[in-house]
Amino acid sequence: MVASVPFTLSEKDVLKTILEFLESRGLHITQLSLERETGVINGEYSDDGLFLRQLILDGQWDNALDFVDPLKDLQEFDLRAFRYILTKYKYFELLCIKQEPGPMHDNDFAVEEIVEALKDLEQIAPTPEDYRQLCALLTLPKLSDHADFKHWNPSSARVECFHKILPLVVDLLPDLSAKTEPTLHAMNDRLIQLVTKGIFYEACVDFCQAQALGNKKDSGPQFTKALASRAKLSGNDLSLVSWLEIVERTQFTMPFQQKQLDFKLEGLKKPKLEAQWTEHILATPMKPGGQFPHSLVPVARLKCAQKMTQSLILPPMSSSFAMEASMVARSRRERAGHPMSHSMAPDVGFSIPTLPAAETAMAQSQIITNMFESSEFTKTSRPQATGALSLPLAQDSRKELDAITRRTQGPRVGGLAPVPELSTPTSDGSVPMGLDAGNPMTQSRLFQEFSNRQRYSMPQMMPQNAMYGQPQQPPIVPQRPVSTVLPAGPNNYYPDPMMPPGYGSRPQSMLGYQPPPPQAPMPPMQAPMGAMPSGSGLPVQFVPLCRYEDSQAIRAVAFHPSGRYFAVGTNSKQMIVCRYPDIRRPTTGRTLPFNPSVCLSRPKQHRGSVYCCGFSQAGDLLATGSNDKTVRLMSFNSEECKIGAEVELTMHDGTVRELIFMDDPATRQPVLVSGGAGNCHICLTDCTTGQTFRELPGHTAPILGLYGWGGCNFASCSQDKSIRFWDLRTSNAVNIIQPNMKTSNAHVTSVCVDPSGKLLVSGHEDASVMLYDIVGGRPVQVFRPHGDEVRTVRFSNAAYYLLSGSYDRRIVITDMRGDLTSPLMYLPVAEHNDKIIQCRWHPQDFTFLSTSADRTVVLWTLPQP
């Protein structure tokens, strides 16, 4: 019976020998990929050290600094050296992002972070010479052109960074001796040792067998190649051991004769990797499920990647319409020559509740897409990124940075890489999903303090359930002399968990905005099949379905929440309520545009012109504002289309330019928010009692627009060129967008916010439209789709399209699908004979109303196929 020799080999140990080989040979890209795929790490680190290592290898520079922050009070800890090493390697990656061709090349956000990193390095560099050498890298066309960075890649740099900072903290982290079982790891080139000894063993087996069979070899064992084809591992490989077992003990009285080993290892000549590292740096690495430390790593990004894309990523759509719309947006963008633009298409947060509705929306989207692609008047926005740098840098560095800034003054084409929804630590202190409660990491003092600081920083951000009207404490907003940004929801993670967005050390006005040259007058448009001309004879893309004409200009229009009615306010002091026509009924044989059915008419609604009107969210209240300085608040019976009890409110001392209804999150009662000229205060009125319970000062010129979302949040815009964010629960503006070099320095005439509450759009007197990232706290882009003052901007109910109306008499639709940092396509779709004052989308259908100084209000719809 053949004796069995037990032998167990752990694949984990094999992986560790491979990882050691890869690290010692500088093959860090493969090393880190293998670590991520297997969850095996070759090294003896404490749990805190392992967590810090993962932060650095993932490029979580700010989180790594915050993680060791509790050590700063220890005399043994050199925080300055730690910060210098981390910031230096972060700076290398930013240089790579800025210098590589692609959508992030000379991106103003990347440049801004480079300047911020240099500013920090200037303060903490060991010597001025070290700082000058870092600045000199700015002059290189590519980082790898420098001799020291010939084989640079982000994976190798991060591994190198960790090994440099480890000696600074290893003695301050928990002692590994406290572990019950020490962790074994490969060292001293263990893989090469084993492979070499294995080849020796095979040679000895062959030699002994040859000797036993009479095939004597005087030259000794012949070593085979490592890749020699041999039989699979079997019992025959123990033949040498079997032979040794039968050798008499007397043969072992003499020790083995020592021979000198002339061992040569032919090294691998590494090729120079010609790769695009930007995507590698910004990509979120795959984490093995439930594997420590991956399951504990906070997923964050470089600010230049996160500033725009993270804040603009909206909740994913849940219906089948998402896939169809994504395909449409992707094909359209690819044909338009924007390969990066499909990275965010379509990222709007809505879902079509039923399949027929999805099919209808898909058909509408396809019609709009065809319009954009077929019309010769489709234009593309030109995002602007200009300005100067003003930081205390060395003179040579300033010239280099100025040169960078000058190169960013042209139009930016392309967008940022997509960023998935990011998770945050749980607010209740519970263990995150996938984390073993018995994991020793959860007991770590550093990790607990790190997690608590992130968790306790969350009250500074806007609670998510506040978006649904639930009472919450007012957000804490630090005071600062420059423009601030709205706090973010808890689903938004920031690299610095101790600071709310916008309150870092980033310079606030680094790259400014310069208006583009005036656009030439737009040529006449060609009418598509089925389009109807407007009164001026200029063909339009949308069809005027019904049209009401008054004796004077019509300013205000509002849809009932049910979509069954719309109210119209005119300069002739009257208000009418019309029935919304059935757009699904065929219009064959019907003269277009026809007159709407007027259900209610009030010729003397005010003593002056009606400037604004609106329905409450429940549809049971209707209000109008006028230049007679009053607001009329009325109950509305939607079943019978009748006005019930009404009250005249006289809290304003000037023209009431705009009003909206909101629901008080505490009482669930409707609140009327109104503003205008006079003292320019915003008044909050309890609709139940008719009493104004709060006035919100701040604007210094007439308020021209109001827009509410999320239950308690609303924004106001004014002729004082500012946009202010408000919360019904507070008495002061939460945040303010002041005019500066990056925004339009003109009166703000209208504002709206997308359904997610992350993107604000504003129209301006200088014919510009601004997209503003609320969470990131900065403009996304400013473009001019019109030739005169923009008076109204509104998102469609799916947020796919932006509607804007202007004094140039035209209504323009801008395609918001895709990457909002890239150039946007826009197309004039309708026209009036005079200035356009207001446009409003229907709550459900893809139709909109427009009012004009030509004394008409028109309901526009897509042409029938």
**170 and 208 both lie in a single domain:** no
Q: Are residues 132 and 149 in the same domain?
A: yes
The 3-state DSSP class for residue 575 equals strand
User: Do 161 and 60 fall into the same domain?
Assistant: yes
As a whole number, the mean pLDDT across the chain is 74
Q: Would you say residue 785 lies in a domain?
A: no
The residue type of 230 is R
Q: What is the pLDDT of residues 758-816, one digit of tens each?
A: 899 999 999 999 999 988 888 889 999 999 999 999 998 877 899 999 999 999 999 98
| pLDDT band, very low/low/confident/very high, at 354 (cuts 50, 70, 90) | very low
- The helix (H) or strand (E) run that includes residue 770 is strand 769-773
How do residues 200-249 score in pLDDT, each as one tens digit?
787 787 777 777 777 766 666 777 777 777 766 666 666 777 777 777 77
Please tell me the least confidently modeled range out of 254-268, 304-318, 639-653, 760-774. Answer: 304-318
Taking the whole predicted model, whether its pTM rises above 0.85 is answered as no
Residue 752 confidence class, pLDDT cut points 50, 70, 90: very high
> Quick one: which of 55, 495, 487 has its CA closest to 306?
495
**Strands of 475-596, DSSP E:** 543-549, 554-559, 565-570, 575-579
3-class state of residue 430 by DSSP: coil
As given in the structure block, the two tokens for residue 565 are 């009615």
* % of the chain exceeding 90 in pLDDT: 32
* pLDDT, position 587: 64
What's the chain's Rg over C-alpha atoms?
34
Strand partners, 801: 815
In tens, the pLDDT along 728-746 reads 888 889 999 988 877 778 8
More confident residue, 79 or 396: 79
φ/ψ bin of 721: left (φ > 0), alpha (ψ from -120 to 50), beta (otherwise): left
Mean pLDDT of 504-533: 35
pLDDT at 702 over 60: yes
CB atoms within 10 A of CB 587: 16
Phi then psi dihedrals of residue 653, to 5 deg = -115, 20
Q: 423, 456, 489: which is the final residue of a domain?
A: 456
- pLDDT tens sequence across 293-306: 776 666 666 666 65
Contacts of 683 (CB under 8 A, 6+ apart): 651, 652, 672, 673, 674, 675, 692, 694, 695, 696
Per residue in 10-26, pLDDT tens?
888 888 889 889 888 88
Tokens 């979120």 belong to residue: 284
Under 8 Å CB-to-CB from 149, ≥6 apart: which residues?
A: 92, 143
Look at 42-51, 417-426, 723-732 and tell me which has the smallest mean pLDDT: 417-426
63 three-state secondary structure: helix
pLDDT of residue 182: 65
pLDDT at 101 over 70: yes
CA dist 692 and 651 (Å) reads 7
Q: Based on the domain organization, do 90 and 150 belong to the same domain? A: yes
Cβ count near 546 (within 10 Å)? 22
3-class SS of residue 145? helix
Q: Which residue has the tokens 């916008």?
A: 502
pLDDT reading at 482 higher than 80: no
Q: What is the structure's pLDDT at 443? A: 59
- What is the spatial distance between Cα 244 and Cα 172, in angstroms, rounded to a whole number? 51
Label residue 308 by pLDDT band (50, 70, 90). Answer: very low
Has residue 379 been placed in a domain?
A: no
Between strands 856-861 and 810-815, the pairing is unpaired
Tell whether 25 and 53 lie within a shared domain.
no
Q: Are residues 170 and 59 in the same domain?
A: yes
Helix (H) or strand (E) run with residue 647 in it: strand 642-649
User: Could you tell me if 631 and 652 are in contact, meaning their C-beta atoms sit under 8 angstroms apart?
Assistant: yes
Residues 14 and 74 occupy one common structural domain: no
Confidence of residue 340 (pLDDT cuts 50, 70, 90): very low
C-alpha–C-alpha distance, residues 641 and 656, integer Å: 25
Q: What is the pLDDT of residues 387-409, one digit of tens each?
A: 333 333 444 554 555 555 454 44
501: in domain: no
Q: Mark whether 58 and 158 lie in a shared domain.
A: yes
The arithmetic mean of pLDDT across residues 15-41, rounded, is 87
**Bridge partners (DSSP) listed for residue 453:** none
Task: Quote the CA–CA distance of 474 and 728 in Å, as a whole number.
Answer: 9
Number of helices (H) and strands (E), helices first, in the chain? 16, 29
pLDDT at residue 106, rounded to an integer: 64
Average pLDDT over residues 700-718: 92
Residue 482 neighbours by CB under 8 Å, 6+ apart: 508, 509, 738
Please check the confidence at residue 163 and state whether its pLDDT lies above 70.
yes
Amino acid at 323: M
**Checking DSSP bridges between strand 543-549 and strand 856-861, what pairing results, if any?**
antiparallel
Torsion of CA 594, 599, 604, 610, to 10 degrees: -60
| pLDDT classification of 491: cutoffs 50, 70, 90 | very low
- Residues in Cβ contact with 497 at an 8 Å cutoff, skipping those fewer than 6 apart: 63, 66, 298, 453, 454, 457
Mark 278-289 as b/e (b = at least 16 C-beta within 10 Å): bebbbeebebee
Highest mean pLDDT of the ranges 137-146, 377-386, 715-724, 773-782: 715-724
Question: Tell me, what's the pLDDT at 247?
Answer: 75
Do 25 and 76 lie in a common domain?
no
Between CA 544 and CA 548, with CA 545 as vertex, the angle to 5 degrees is 85
- What's the confidence (pLDDT) of residue 711? 80
Which residue in 790, 796, 783 sits closest to 844, CA to CA?
796
Which tops the pLDDT comparison, 465 or 403?
403
Who's near 633: CB < 8 A, 6+ residues apart?
621, 622, 623, 646, 647, 648, 649, 672, 685, 687, 690
Q: Which of 107-116, 171-180, 800-809 has the lowest mean pLDDT?
A: 171-180
**DSSP 8-state class, residue 594:** B
| 98/210 same-domain check | no
At residue 276 the predicted structure's pLDDT band, cuts being 50, 70 and 90, is low
Q: How many CB atoms lie within 10 A of CB 71?
A: 18
Asked if 22 and 80 sit in the same domain, the reply is: no
Domain boundary among 410, 436, 456: 456
Q: 250: burial class by Cβ within 10 Å (0-12, 13-18, 19+)?
A: exposed
Tokens of 531: 């389009």
Residue 814 near residue 764, CB atoms below 8 Å: no
Measured at the alpha carbon of residue 802, what is the angle toward residues 801 and 803, in degrees to the nearest 5?
A: 120
Within a domain: 24:
yes
pLDDT single digits (tens) 520-550? 444 333 333 333 334 444 444 788 999 999 9
Query: Is residue 406 included in any domain, yes or no?
Result: yes
Provide the edge-to-edge strand list for the sheet that holds 810-815.
Answer: 379-380, 825-831, 810-815, 801-806, 790-795
Which residue, of 207, 229, 251, is where some domain finishes?
A: 251
- Say if residue 853's pLDDT is above 50: yes
Across 138-152, average pLDDT: 85
Domain presence at residue 142: yes
Is the same domain home to 147 and 203? no
> What domain range includes position 74?
45-174+385-456
Q: Which of 250-254, 425-429, 509-513 has the lowest mean pLDDT?
A: 509-513
The count of domains in the chain is 3
Contact 541, 525 (CB under 8 A): yes
Above 70 in pLDDT, residue 683? yes
The answer on pLDDT for 497 being more than 50 is: no
**Which of 149-158, 436-445, 494-503, 612-621 has the lowest average pLDDT?**
494-503
Residue 126 to residues 129, 580, 608, Cα–Cα distance (Å): 8, 72, 72
103 in a structural domain: yes
CA–CA dist 359, 836 (Å, integer): 32
| CA-based end-to-end distance of the chain | 87
Q: Is 319 contained in some domain?
A: no
Q: What angle do CA 307, 312, 313 make, to 5 degrees?
A: 115
Q: Cα–Cα distance between 137 and 114 in angstroms, integer?
A: 11
What are 43-64's pLDDT values in tens digits? 888 888 888 888 898 888 888 8
pLDDT, tens digit (0-9, with 9 covering 90-100), for 358-387: 556 666 667 777 777 777 778 787 665 433
| Mean pLDDT value of segment 57-77 | 87
Q: Which residues of 72-107 are buried (b: 16+ CB within 10 A; e: fewer)?
A: eeeeebbbeebbbbbbbbbbbbbbbbbbbeebbbbb
What is the reported pLDDT for 361?
A: 61
